[in-house]
Structure 1
Amino acid sequence: MKQVAFIGLGNMGGPMAKNLLAAGWSVAAFDLSQAALDDVTVAGAHGAKSAAEACESCDVVISMLPAGKHVKSVMMGSDGLFSRLPADTLVLDASTIDTADARELHTAAREHLIAFMDTPVSGGVAAAQAGTLAFMCGGASEAFARAVSVLEAMGNREKIFHAGGDGAGQVAKAANNMLLAIQMIGTCEALALGAANGLDPAIQSEIMKASSGNNWPLQVYNPWPGVMPTAPASNDYRPGFMVDLMAKDLGLATSLAEQSSVAATFGHQALSIYQALQADGLGLEDFSIVMKQFNGE
């Protein structure tokens, strides 16, 4: 049985580690939160006292951490995992981080002959729990071929993509989530416009789903309360995908756009809207709570 070291067991990492266990992988896990670590050890993982201990005798390392600074502190430097792991160990970073940080990690990994890929995910907590995540992978094609079997334990094969070289996964993730935010805001505006003029939001949603305005929020994440019972909007906007995380991702996307001389006008406007929600104390709510800006709540 091959062994995976899993570093970072938050709302996404915990369910991902459990799905690896369910698929038959041996998992050694580490997190600074004892409660998070206990949760996966109850499911069958070995709870390590450090990231280094988790990686002893591992075949694959997966990290799911909040930001690039956290990933670099774990992986790089004289005490980092890159300097401890055997050559050709496969390391997959599923965190959503700055593209420049991802490329720096690739460079550092090559210096230690480590097979590194940036593999950010899409689908949120629900997909992490269900094992249906999408993976956007950046790095060498040889590393991607090795990564597929472990990623399949946490996502659907048809949603595991080799986006390109160093940092390409992070570029794809930034572009995707910028588009998602724009779609969500536009969907909220359209539903509010219809409701203000007498349309039932549920009927209007079906009309748009059958028309050229169809999009992912309408299909699976309707922001109008009561239209879709399983959506966060129908559960008091409990996440889901938090406003804070969307603001973070929009910051990464707009920063990348500026570095690339891309205007990203709507991306910047979306960032301003989500930063305003943060300022209103709504950072821990689901990102579809932007609906409240348009329906008068």
Structure 2
Amino acid sequence: MSTVGFVGLGNMGRPMAVNLVKAGHEVRGFDIAEAAREQAHRAGVPVVASADDAAKGADILVTMLPKGEHVREVLCGELTPLKKLAPGAVVVDSSSIDVPTALELHSVGERLGIHVVDAPVSGGVSGASAGTLTFMIGGSDEAIAQSRPALDALGARVFHVGGPGAGQVAKACNQMVVGASLVALAEAFVMAEKLGLSPKNLFDVLSTSSGDCWALHNFTPLPGLVEGSAADNGYAPKFAAALLAKDLGLAATAAESAGVELVVGQGARRVVDELASTDGHLDSSAVIKVINRTA
């Protein structure tokens, strides 16, 4: 078993750290927020006082932080905790961040003789809790092999999509498709209802026809259609609108750097941004509220 430091014990990071403990790894968790540390401790994660303490002597350091600026602040500065890692250790950054910051982290790791993989995930809080996350990984074969003890405890699927930064590119593309699907579903349900078609009848058709998609079964925007949906629970967040808005912003930035015009992607981003500006704490499927207002 490995010694694993874990920085970022929020809604995603906490269950991931719990799964590492359950797998038998020696885990040291840290979060800047006291409430997050307390919740992780109650869930069985050994908690330490700083990111340095989490990294000290660790074979693997996993980070799950909100934004690129946080990754840069915690890991890329002169006093980076990466200097505390065991020689030849690996950093698994599962934050969803911009590509330039991911490349900067790889560069810092190379300078310090530390392996780095950018390893954003898909699967949400439920996947983090069940240990069934999908990892999209950018980095070397050697770095991925070294990170396997952690990845095997956290996810069901690991895709090595390319070199440094490639994981973040894959995540941005994935989130753009998810965001566009959510908005299209919301528009479809609003349009159908206004034209006299019941939500249940539309769901039955979509779920068995060419309009079927992952978002329909996991983030259907109306209650009473999918058991356990956020819509059935007042849109309590399974994946908060504010987080999807952040991801769509990352996708837009990546597309701009590549000279790609996003017609559908930017349209979805505008709708999600509107929801995030007023109800960012709600689940992303609450975009139907925005569609209903504009209808």
Q: Give TM class, smaller chain.
A: over 0.9
Which of 276, 279, 292 lines up with 1:282 in the alignment? 279
Gaps of 5+ in 1: none
Q: Deviations over 1:73-98 (max 9, x none)?
A: 22123210233323311110010100
Residue type of the partner of 1:229? E
State the distance in 2 between where 1:23 and 1:160 align: 17
Q: Deviations over 1:167-187 (max 9, x none)?
A: 011000000001100001111
Q: Report how many aligned residue pairs link the two structures.
A: 294
Q: Which moved more, 1:85-94 or 1:41-50?
A: 41-50
- Name the SS of the counterpart of 1:79 in structure 2: coil
- Name the SS of the counterpart of 1:14 in structure 2: helix
- Name the SS of the counterpart of 2:28 in structure 1: strand
Instruction: Say whether residues 1:125 and 2:122 are aligned partners.
Output: no
State how 1:74-223 maps to structure 2 within 5 Å: 74-156=74-156, 159-223=157-221
State the distance in 2 between where 1:203 and 1:23 align: 44
State the distance in 2 between where 1:283 and 1:36 align: 20
Distance 1:259 1:80, change over 3 A: same
Conserved 8 A contact 2:55-2:82: no
Conserved 8 A contact 1:76-1:83: no
Residue type of the partner of 2:262? A
Consecutive aligned runs of 4 or more in structure 1 exceeding 4 Å deviation? none
State the distance in 2 between where 1:185 and 1:255 align: 20
- Name the SS of the counterpart of 1:153 in structure 2: helix
State the distance in 2 between where 1:233 and 1:225 align: 5
Which of 238, 246, 249 lines up with 1:248 in the alignment? 246
- Name the SS of the counterpart of 1:117 in structure 2: strand
Gaps of 5+ in 2: none
Conserved 8 A contact 1:131-1:153: yes
Offset at residue 295 of structure 1 (A) = 4.2
State the distance in 2 between where 1:132 and 1:278 align: 27
State the distance in 1 between where 2:45 and 2:11 align: 16
Q: Deviations over 1:180-232 (max 9, x none)?
A: 00001111111222222222212211211111111011122211122113110
Conserved 8 A contact 1:148-1:160: no
Q: Which moved more, 1:190-199 or 1:246-255?
A: 190-199
State the distance in 2 between where 1:284 and 1:248 align: 13
State the distance in 2 between where 1:194 and 1:46 align: 51
More helix, by proportion: 2
State the distance in 1 between where 2:77 and 2:35 align: 28
Residue identity over aligned pairs, in percent, reads 41
Q: Deviations over 1:87-146 (max 9, x none)?
A: 311110010100111011111110111000000111111111121111111110111122
Offset at residue 160 of structure 1 (A) = 1.2
Q: Which moved more, 1:118-127 or 1:77-86?
A: 77-86
